[in-house]
Amino acid sequence: MFLIGTSTATMNIQFDSVRKYSSSLKITAFLLLAMVNSASSMTTKCPFSRIFLLGDGFSDIGTSANVVPGLSIPSTRFPYGITFPGTPNGRWSDGRVSTEFVAQDFELPDIRPYFPANNSLRNNGVIFAVARSPVLDLEFFRSRGVDFPPYAVPLKVQLQWIRSYLNSVCSNSTDCSAKILQDSLVILGYEDGNDIGYPLSQGKSIEEVKAFVPLIRNTIIDAARELIKMGATRVVITGSNPLGCFPYILTALDNSSLAAYDPLGCLKSVNNLIISKNNDLNLAVTRLSLEFLNATILFADLYTPLQTIISTTALLGTNPLKACCGIGGRYNFDENRFCASPGVPFCANPNRYIFWDGLHLTQETFDRITSVVLPVFRPLLKCRLI
Ligand SMILES: *[C@@H]1O[C@H](CO)[C@@H](O)[C@H](O)[C@H]1NC(C)=O
Ligand SMILES: *[C@@H]1O[C@H](CO)[C@@H](O)[C@H](O)[C@H]1NC(C)=O
Ligand SMILES: *[C@@H]1O[C@H](CO)[C@@H](O)[C@H](O)[C@H]1NC(C)=O
């Protein structure tokens, strides 16, 4: 069942404690330490044994590097992976991405990327997410003059992937597929907002992109509906991040009018579009949960946690909107001199940065977002701390 009231109330408590962080650093640091200590002595027990995730670069654990054989993409080059595991491994960050914090928290750490294919049922789940992927089809964007990288894999194709994965581990018995899905958490994690970010950064207007919102929502909801009919009983659908704060968007939509920016320096028009997209999706998730009373269907707000991290970082006196890895302009971002290109520098301490390469986040940011969101979702998914 969808418990929007509960999750919102709990979130607000979380954010109040984050707000106090800036005024009384020492006390909060002490409390955090206490929380970490108590958390490390407990383990989580969830009533499911696998995670399947469809999505984009915030969750991709290496599949994008293998979608187009022979294509060299930035995430396979230095300095990606410099914080963890120390070498590039296909993740679009200096270290771990959100998926891994989720999997660890639920005590299901052995997750695998879909590529290179591993059709074993012995692991804790498969991550189908591919960086730069939109919800809508590539043809939809191509016909409107919007380019995506050749390795982007839209939602429809990731859905085919999960179907063929289930077929391959089940030797075509539908009963077996349903049983596997019933024992899993399915996440539709389109957090980047690529359907909005790509067209905007390629010159489409806010008005044009606004017209995509109902299509994006319907495509996500249809995918969730299909997965539930296949047997899924727990589906988490994420909203998108505050795209108007991202270095690549700030660079592409640079505006000489101060009125275009909010007090954090983010583009108001873009963030307002994302907020209305998230609200629209959240409502549709509520309707879907009324349609399927036999499933737990939840909306995850990721906009607010990242917004909070940006404002606390600004209060600590650091510019939160600069990419760690990159060069040029006000935001350390130039699409022609992207992170991992020859001669492009990266910051000495990625932990102090929110954005890694202008499009994706640092490991530290993923850790901070998930540590706010997961305590809200644990009880909703009936996971217990033992
Ligand atoms: C597939 O996953 C299983 C279980 O996690 C692991 O033991 C095995 O080595 C993997 N195989 C490949 C080819 O990665
Ligand atoms: C939940 O209900 C839908 C629609 O009636 C059905 O297709 C699906 O198989 C059900 N799921 C389970 C786990 O029974
Ligand atoms: C700049 O921002 C102003 C105020 O929000 C807006 O009216 C204008 O269209 C923007 N200009 C560009 C080029 O985006």
Closest ligand 2 atom to Cα of 232: 13
Q: Is the pTM of this model over 0.75?
A: yes
Question: Does some domain include residue 16?
Answer: no
User: What does the pLDDT look like over 189-220, one tens digit per residue?
Assistant: 999 899 999 999 999 999 999 999 999 999 99
- Point out the ligand nearest to the CA of residue 233: 2
Residue 28 in any domain: the answer is no
Asked, for residue 25, whether it belongs to a domain, the answer is no
Q: How confident is the model at residue 30 (pLDDT cuts 50, 70, 90)?
A: very low
Residue predicted with more confidence, 2 or 308 = 308
> Does residue 231 lie within any of the structural domains?
yes
Specify if 35 maps to a domain.
no
Task: Reply yes or no on whether the pLDDT at 379 is more than 80.
Answer: yes
- What share of the chain has pLDDT > 90, as a percent? 83
Which residues on neighbouring strands pair with residue 186, listed in sequence order?
52, 235
Is 352 inside a domain boundary? Answer: yes
Residue 27 within any structural domain of the chain: no
| CATH code of residue 255 | 3.40.50.1110
Show the ligand 1 pocket: residues with CB < 6 angstroms.
Answer: 110, 118, 120, 122-123
Question: What ligand 1 atom has the least distance to the C-alpha of 122?
Answer: 4
Number of domains in the chain: 1
Instruction: Write phi, then psi, for 371 (nearest 5 degrees).
Output: -75, -15
> Domain range holding 351?
3-11+46-385
Among 292, 296, 297, which is best to mutate for testing ligand 2, by the most ligand atoms less than 8 A from CB?
292
Token duo for residue 2: 């969808």
Residue 34 lies in a domain: no
Summarised one tens digit per residue, pLDDT across range 87-136 is: 999 999 999 999 999 999 999 999 999 998 766 788 999 999 999 999 99
Are 102 and 161 in contact, with CB atoms under 8 Å apart? no
